[in-house]
A and B are shown apart, each in its own frame.
Chain A
């Protein structure tokens, strides 16, 4: 799950069941069926050993390759491991020293604040622009919709490692096309503009990259979701004299609420731990001013060889994420109980 929202599902089924996300011309003229009971409507299905057998491989895999490393990580965070200890493979116990060092370090808090700001800005932009483009897709004619959705699929499919290189090239100081674009548009000072001059400007470029790569997921799913909102609902709203804004809040939003919940959830996770984009863009620089939590952990752990400290950072990162996301977990659990 290293990535931004590339390559995820074309459409989550309940959110946007039947319709095509990217290629709207696919015929889906399903003749009406009665509302089908979604699930759980049937009688309770047999229990016994079968379900345990079915989930066993998954549980086993998660336990050995996820839970075990996580536990190991927590143990590391309680040890004092630097280059010497790491090479000698002797790991002295350090208690909570790594944690107290971190919590008392202003750099750590700067990084935490930056991570939140980065996540907030990115997710807000992705959700707002993605939804708008989804709505636009829904309003376009066939041909134009195909053009736009193909462009979106292209951006969506770009592997991150490749797209980071491309953005490097686009924003290159000497020969980048963006400097040319700015010059052509009549701005001065773009002869040799360094786009990654400061931490903030680096973050802006990274944001453009992340938003560019993530919008397609939201837009295409939004469009798929919109097609499930029956035309008669729009008609009804129109007859009631609702304007576009009201239609959105009264008809579209309630119908697509699950879509917004799930997509926001995924985007928050993906952006918060967007390591590759940030690290590969400028290694967290200049002067460590574009480090977000995962990058901070990597620089401290790998480059500075403070392995114990880095483990503590990663544990705190996980804790922060879980706390922030607990709202969603509660929603999910509630849903489970209802069934």
Chain B
């Protein structure tokens, strides 16, 4: 009998639980009422907290009663997330989009047309090179925010120990890596994972090739070309000095915070926020960072390697319920005053959208090297379909891994080109 009793009590408890739980759920539902709020999505590493707090403070001072909710997003899986978000009735009001992805969203109608707001946003002051990725067919869909490109980050001590100085040509670079390898077998001369495709893009451009080219009205991939093959050959040579996995990119594991701080890396290719992150992680581990920087060397000493000009734009969602507020926030954040502070806050490691806001980098800083390299900057093909190419599984990455594992570059390139053509022309 006792057993029955226990069971009965238990069940009675469950019933009460059901009722209690139902109530609990209801309370949660009324989250979005209350005073006005705009939501801003920024990417991981884009917006220094001190800076964005100040932007919001200024904004709230102008618009009493309006609060700004900043949500930091991860790059992994962001396209899926933005796509669904733009289809919703309550999308984020302002969102950061990678410059290679903006055109892809502009054509969906999910972004607000900002052409009429050019003046209010201060578009005349923007860098022409950065504006290109923010426009489609002469219409403005976003405000350029920042640009950045990669340079080689090196450990001064390791270089000094091996007697290596920053190279200016590819040959010098390889010779230096050889010396580093001989000087300390426990250290990898360069950390370069197999799928760092932005690095490869620069090498392909150096050879005169491209990731994709327009062929009549259609686009076609450019990985099966001899130029891409030559670029991949050099990449493979570089990669042979690294013990990094051949089937991973630089973000997984995160090279700046997971790999470099553990030591044993003499040099690596990264962005400004990555160098900063590595410095911070080293400090937390009780070590001191002693980084030097140089542009990726070109074939000859008179021209550094072409680099991918990464960057982000800020857009307003078409379905935003607070479009006007969102545009005002955009004008403020992308305006000269805040951009000047932004450049200073990032110590020039992120290039602001207008020349007037530029930060003069200190000698020997990341920003200085980046400025030198950025002269030879280039972006991925500007077409709406390009964003489809970048989504995982990314055919460029698969191509790289295959070639690094010994497959023929022309054959793997042709396969990748077929996939690129399929995606880019959609």
Is the beta-carbon distance between B247 and A84 smaller than 8 angstroms?
Answer: no
Bound-complex Cα distance A196 to B110 (A): 38
CB proximity of A91 to chain B, nearest CB, Å: 12
Q: Given A285-B393, A303-B80 in contact, is the A87-B86 Cβ separation under 8 Å?
A: yes
In the bound complex, how far is the Cα of B243 from the Cα of A305, in angstroms? 35
Chain A residues whose CB sits within 8 angstroms of the CB of B393 once the complex forms: 283-285, 287-288, 299, 303
What is the minimal beta-carbon distance from B187 to any residue of chain A, in angstroms?
A: 15
Residue pair A88, B108 in contact (C-beta under 8 Å): yes
A82: CB under 8 A from chain B?
Answer: yes
* A106 CB → nearest B CB, Å: 13
B167: shortest Cβ distance to chain A, in Å?
28
Chain B residues within 8 Å of A89, by CB: 87
**B406 CB, nearest partner CB in chain A, Å:** 12
Q: Is A18 an interface residue (CB 8 A)?
A: no
The answer to whether B83 touches A305 (Cβ under 8 A) is yes
- Does residue A326 face the partner (Cβ distance < 8 Å to B)? no
Q: Is A25 among interface residues, defined by CB-CB distance under 8 A?
A: no
Within 8 Å by CB of B401, from A284, A287, A299, lies: A287
Chain A neighbourhood of B247, CB < 8 A: 194, 196-197, 285-286
Q: Does B98 sit at the interface, judged by CB under 8 A?
A: no
Mask, B79-102, CB within 8 Å of A = 1, is 110011011000000000000000
Closest residue to B88 on the A side, CB-wise?
Answer: A87
- Say whether B402 contacts A84, CB under 8 Å: no
Task: Give the contacts of B243-287 with A (CB-CB under 8 A).
Answer: 243, 245-247
| Chain A interface size, under 10 / 10 to 19 / 20 to 34 / 35 or more | 20 to 34
Contact of A194 among B107, B245, B398, B423 (CB under 8 A): B245
Main secondary structure of the interface of A (DSSP, over half): loop
Q: Is the interface of B mostly helix, strand, loop or mixed?
A: loop
B104 at the A/B interface (Cβ < 8 Å)?
yes
Bound-state Cα–Cα, A197 to B402, Å: 11
Residues of chain B lying within 8 A (CB to CB) of residue A82: 426
User: Which positions 155-179 of chain A face chain B at CB distance < 8 Å?
Assistant: 173
Q: How far is the CA of A194 from the CA of B80 in the complex (A)?
A: 29
Nearest CB of B to A163, in Å: 20
Residues of chain A within 8 A of B80, CB atoms compared: 302-303, 305
For the complex, give the distance between the alpha carbons of A196 and B401 in Å: 13
Counting CB contacts under 8 A, is A304 at the interface? yes
Contact across chains for A87 and B398 when beta carbons are under 8 A apart = no
In angstroms, how far is the closest chain B Cβ from the Cβ of A311? 15
B contact residues around A173 at 8 Å (CB)? 245
The CA-CA distance from A173 to B84 in the complex, in Å, is 34
B245 & A286 in contact (Cβ 8 Å cutoff): no
Give the Cβ gap from B93 to chain A, nearest Cβ, in Å: 16
Minimum CB–CB distance from B400 to chain A (whole Å) comes to 11
Q: Please give the distance in Å from A297's CB to the nearest CB on chain B.
A: 14
**Residues of B in contact with A, size category:** 20 to 34
Residue B67 CB within 8 A of the other chain: no
In the complex, A131 Cα to B211 Cα: how many Å? 54
How far is A302 from B86 in the complex, measured between Cα atoms in Å? 14
Q: Min CB distance, B200 to chain A, in Å? A: 17
Contact between B87 and A84, CB atoms less than 8 A apart: no
Instruction: List chain B residues, Cβ under 8 A from A196.
Output: 247
Q: How far is the CB of B6 from chain A (nearest CB, A)?
A: 16
Whether, in the assembled complex, A328 has its beta carbon less than 8 Å from a beta carbon of chain B, the answer is no
Which residues of chain A (295-309) have a CB below 8 Å from chain B?
299, 302-305
Is A187 close to B, CB under 8 A? no
Asked if B110 contacts A87 (CB within 8 A), the reply is: yes
Q: How far is the CB of A24 from chain B (nearest CB, A)?
A: 19
| Chain A residue at minimal CB-CB distance from B426 | A82
Kindly list chain B residues whose C-beta atoms are within 8 Å of the C-beta of A84: 107-109
Question: Among B83, B245, B246, B402, which residue has its beta carbon within 8 angstroms of that of A83?
Answer: B83
Alpha-carbon separation in the docked complex, A193 to B401 (Å): 15
Q: Which residue of B lies closest to A291 (CB)?
A: B393
Beyond A287-B398, A302-B80, is A192–B108 a contact (Cβ under 8 Å)? no
A269-289 residues with Cβ-Cβ distance < 8 A to B are: 283-288
Q: Verify A83–B104 contact, CB threshold 8 A.
A: yes
Q: What sequence of 0s and 1s flags, for each residue 366-407 of chain B, a beta carbon within 8 Å of any chain A beta carbon?
A: 000000000000000000000010011100001001100000
Contact between B391 and A304 (Cβ–Cβ < 8 Å)? yes
Q: Which of B96-139 contact A (CB under 8 A)?
A: 104, 107-110
Instruction: Kindly state the separation between the CA atoms of A194 and B108 in the bound complex, as whole angstroms.
Output: 40
Chain A residues with CB under 8 Å of B392's CB are 283, 303
User: B218 to nearest A CB, angstroms?
Assistant: 17
Q: Cβ of B388: which chain A residues have Cβ within 8 Å of it?
A: 83, 304-305
A86 interface contact, C-beta 8 A: yes
Shortest Cβ distance from residue B224 to the other chain A in the assembled complex, whole angstroms: 16
**Docked pose: A302 CA to B401 CA in angstroms:** 24
Interface string of A194-205 (1 = CB under 8 A from B): 101100000000
Contact sample, A vs B, 22 pairs, CB 8 Å cutoff? A83-B108, A86-B83, A86-B87, A87-B86, A87-B87, A87-B108, A87-B109, A88-B110, A194-B247, A197-B247, A284-B393, A285-B247, A286-B401, A303-B79, A303-B80, A303-B391, A303-B392, A304-B388, A304-B391, A304-B423, A305-B83, A305-B391
Closest 9 CB pairs of A and B: A87-B110, A87-B108, A287-B398, A84-B108, A87-B87, A87-B86, A302-B80, A303-B391, A88-B109
| Residues of chain A whose beta carbon lies under 8 Å from any beta carbon of chain B | 82-84, 86-89, 173, 192, 194, 196-197, 283-288, 299, 302-305
* 12 further A-B pairs in the complex, CB-CB below 8 A; given A87-B108, A299-B393: A86-B87, A87-B109, A194-B245, A283-B393, A284-B393, A285-B393, A286-B398, A286-B401, A287-B393, A287-B402, A303-B392, A304-B388
Chain B positions within 8 Å of A, measured between CB atoms, are: 79-80, 83-84, 86-87, 104, 107-110, 243, 245-247, 388, 391-393, 398, 401-402, 423, 426
